[in-house]
């Protein structure tokens, strides 16, 4: 099955990209190589997602808890981020991709913040959104949104949702986690309220565009009731 009918089409898919470390360990390679291959998987996915009918793909790249990893690994991840933005930005622009960052990304290193600001500006006209979660924690995002809603005296679900980092994105349809772990790890907790969940055993570096297409086909078969019957 390829393109889905409008009713069952997923517009917004989010992925918890997990398993880079285990992918490397299985091959007796350094974790850094696993992360490198993880970036390659991201690149291949972004290159091929155009024909899958999505409006938005959201990727969990660095959580606010990932700072607890050894300094060397955090440095590796930040350097991969720098390289990725530099090398892939022209492709985003050429392919009509709008980059969006969710999370407390202003807290990253100043040079990365500057690169991201430039990338956001250069891609602002794109029509397919690639949202990357950086220094992201869902509870923190909800607390920030609730504080803004309280400041205007309107603490309703609608007002909180309107102040989430994802306020301008379509509702989340499908959340995928790779590597066999079955938990949300502080990712899109609010947005997942009615999302379908898919947990796959594939380690992130092995996750190919065909795996995403398979997940979308699986999604199209599910009956969503949003609390009704
Ligand atoms: C999980 O693997 C993955 C991460 C910590 C973050 C994902 C990061 C990337 C794919 C690279 C950076 C992305 C971009 C967009 C530049 P893990 O180390 O937790 O794996 P493990 O659970 O097997 O140890």
Atom of ligand 1 nearest to the CA of 23: 23
Report the separation in Å between the CA atom of 77 and the middle of ligand 1, taken as the mean of its atom positions.
8
Atom of ligand 1 nearest to the CA of 83: 16
Instruction: List the one residue out of 156, 107, 157, 152 whose CA is nearest residue 134.
Output: 107
Q: Would you state the structure tokens that stand for residue 178, as one six-digit string?
A: 């790779």
Instruction: List the one residue out of 47, 36, 77 whose CA is nearest residue 212.
Output: 47
pTM attached to this predicted model: 0.95
Q: Which residues surround ligand 1 with Cβ inside 6 Å?
A: 17-22, 35, 38-39, 42, 59, 61, 66, 77, 80-81, 84, 132, 179, 204
Q: What DSSP letter does each residue of 121-168 carry, written as one string? A: HHTTT-SEEEEEEEEE-HHHHHHHHHHHHHHTT--SHHHHHHTSTTTT
pLDDT digits (tens, 9 = 90+) for 7-54: 689 999 999 999 999 999 999 999 999 999 999 999 999 999 999 999
């Amino acid at each position: 099955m390829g393109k889905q009918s409008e009713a069952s089409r997923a517009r917004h898919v989010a992925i918890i990209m997990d398993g880079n470390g285990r992918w490397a360990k299985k091959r007796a390679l350094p974790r850094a190589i696993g992360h490198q291959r993880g970036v390659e998987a991201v690149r291949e996915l972004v290159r091929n997602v155009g024909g899958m009918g999505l409006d938005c793909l959201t990727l969990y790249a660095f959580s606010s808890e990932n700072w607890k990893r050894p300094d060397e690994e955090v440095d590796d991840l930040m350097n991969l981020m720098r390289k990725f933005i530099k090398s892939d930005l022209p492709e985003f622009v050429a392919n009509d991709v709008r980059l969006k960052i969710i999370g407390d990304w202003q807290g990253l290193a100043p040079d990365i913040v500057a690169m991201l600001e430039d990338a956001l500006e250069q891609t602002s006209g794109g029509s397919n959104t690639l949202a990357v979660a950086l220094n992201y924690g869902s509870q923190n995002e909800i607390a920030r949104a609730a504080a803004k809603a309280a400041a205007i005296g309107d603490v309703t679900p609608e007002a909180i949702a309107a102040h989430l980092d994802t306020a301008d994105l379509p509702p989340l349809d499908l959340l995928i986690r790779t590597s066999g772990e079955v938990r949300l790890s502080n990712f899109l907790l609010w947005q997942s309220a009615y999302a379908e969940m898919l947990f796959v055993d594939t380690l992130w570096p092995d996750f190919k565009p065909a795996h995403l297409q398979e997940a979308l086909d699986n999604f199209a078969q599910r009956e969503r009731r949003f609390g009704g019957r």
